[in-house]
Chains A and B, each alone.
Chain A
Amino acid sequence: MVEIKDLHKSFSKNNVLNGVDLNINKGGIFAVLGPNGSGKTTIIKSILGMVIPNKGSIKVFDSDIKKSSDYRHKIDYMPQIANFPSNLKVIELIKMIKDLRGATDKDQMLIETFKLEPFLNKKLGTLSGGTKQKVNIVLTFMFDSPIIILDEPTTGLDPISLIRLKELIATEKQKGKAILITSHIMSFVEEVADEIVFILEGKIYFRGSIKALQEKTKEKDFEHAIANILIENHA
């Protein structure tokens, strides 16, 4: 579904990605992990075509992403910090995205799930961080695309919404979709992820199941296993 080959990217003198190879050819939940500044968001933004790589190629469903922007119809993306145009109302934003991407009726169900009805006619600039994140979730999940990318989806969510989000992710997974998640909340990752992609210094350091990671680091606890990698490589 997604095929990344030898991806390099530097911002001025800062080398962020140094030859990333990543192949995702089946559905499931993939957690992209790594310390701050390791290049997680850069990889995601490269897949979306928001960051232009210096070297390397990215294919989504066997078509090179440089050729056309149509492949983005197959990706639902939830950005890290929900920055929306502040003078738009929630309902207007939802309408606008539907106008740009195509009709859907899933938004109604999602609005109900996340109890957003009272905010529909409020301007996005006046919403709290958590509410903005819920709007972000609605915008992401209202289209039925085979690839979903979630960048720090849990930020600012209350416990009930977090449970709903997990349920939502689980239902989407059952449809055979590939879901890429970045997160620093290890308990969340441990709960949802099928596979871990660990990025260190701009390269993929480890890829495999949580179990394989625990065996490799000889740590039983997942959080400690991750910490172990970081200590070994930075100490």
Chain B
Amino acid sequence: MLKILKYSFYDLMRSSWSYVYLGFYLLLGIVLLFLNNDLSKAVITLMNVIIVLVPLIGTIFGVMYYYNSKEFTELLLAQPLKRSSIFLGQYLGVAISLSMSLIIGLGLPFIAYGLFKSSAIWDFSLLLIVGVFLTFIFSALAFNIALSHENKIKGFGYAILMWLFLAIIYDGLFLMSLIIFEDYPLDKVSLIGTMLNPIDLSRTLILLKLDISALLGYTGAVFKQFFGTSFGLIISFVMLLVWVILPVFRIVFKSRKKDF
């Protein structure tokens, strides 16, 4: 698997897209710091961008890489390699190179601005960790969708729909259900609802850490009340981990039964 990972990683490192992505984060980091003039405020703004954008990029890159490396995959399948190592290697190649772009692209401007001397360093690290989690989650989901659909257009369509649903539509439905059933006690429901969406979960996680859960309104308050800050962090991380592991398992399972 490590050999496949190595080749997928090199392949991506050579494609110009990785650099466009890296450049985008560099620019974003510099502009945010320039406009905010304050590290911790920049971290909050950054959170809002990361929570929506990282999943989108992970989804698009995951689907694109899978379909683009079809020839490479077919070549590898005839070699003495396990299927699971071929697909996991490719998946990790995508996820790791995207995560590296994120960490380097945002890290450099913040370090240059004096992150290490600032108290915002922990908030910033948490932001990067969540960003990495989201990259791993959404590229795994994208690989799942691409594995299930031979047709590129369909695969792309479903992947974008998945992102749209988790990033935007889910929140809308969630909010609507809270309004409709406002006469009932909804603490547990909203808690579970947050857990079931990795984007909401990441947002809650960061807001809990930044101790500004009032910004999030109801969900954050419930989270705080139920878990207290440190326990909430642990539960959220466990849930994020589950969100990585389940799609990865399905990649292994699905790839074992697929015809090429």
Contact = CB atoms under 8 A, between A and B. Distances in A.
Given A51-B260, A79-B74, A85-B71, A72 B80 contact: yes
Interface residues of A, number: 26
A101 B260 contact: no
A48 B80 contact: no
Contacts of B70: 83
A100 interface: yes
A87 interface: yes
B81 interface: yes
Contacts of A11: 259
B221 to A, nearest CB: 51
B81 A84 contact: no
B213 to A, nearest CB: 47
Contact of B3 (A73, A83, A87, A100): A100
A50 interface: yes
A208 interface: no
Contacts of A69: 80-83
Contacts of B78: 48, 50, 72, 75, 77, 79
Contact of B11 (A77, A79, A87): A87
A56 interface: no
A50 B79 contact: no
Contacts of A101: 79-80
B7 A96 contact: yes
A166 interface: no
Contact of A100 (B69, B79, B258): B79
A45 B11 CA distance: 27
B186 to A, nearest CB: 45
B257 interface: yes
A100 B76 contact: yes
A49 interface: yes
Contacts of B79: 72, 97, 100-101
Interface in B32-88: 69-72, 74-83
Contacts, number: 61
A45 B260 CA distance: 8
B71 A52 contact: no
Nearest to A139: B75
A72 B83 CA distance: 12
Nearest to A49: B77
A75 B81 CA distance: 13
A105 interface: no
Nearest to B75: A84
Contact of A52 (B69, B80, B257): B257
B14 interface: yes
A2 B73 CA distance: 25
Interface string B1-35: 00100010001001100000000000000000000
Given A83-B71, A84-B75, A52 B258 contact: yes
Interface string B218-260: 0000000000000000000000000000000000000011111
8 contacts: A72-B79, A84-B75, A87-B14, A87-B15, A96-B7, A97-B75, A99-B3, A100-B76
Given A52-B257, A85-B71, 20 more contacts: A11-B259, A50-B260, A51-B260, A52-B259, A69-B82, A70-B80, A71-B80, A72-B79, A72-B80, A75-B78, A79-B74, A83-B70, A83-B75, A85-B72, A85-B75, A97-B75, A97-B79, A99-B3, A100-B80, A100-B81
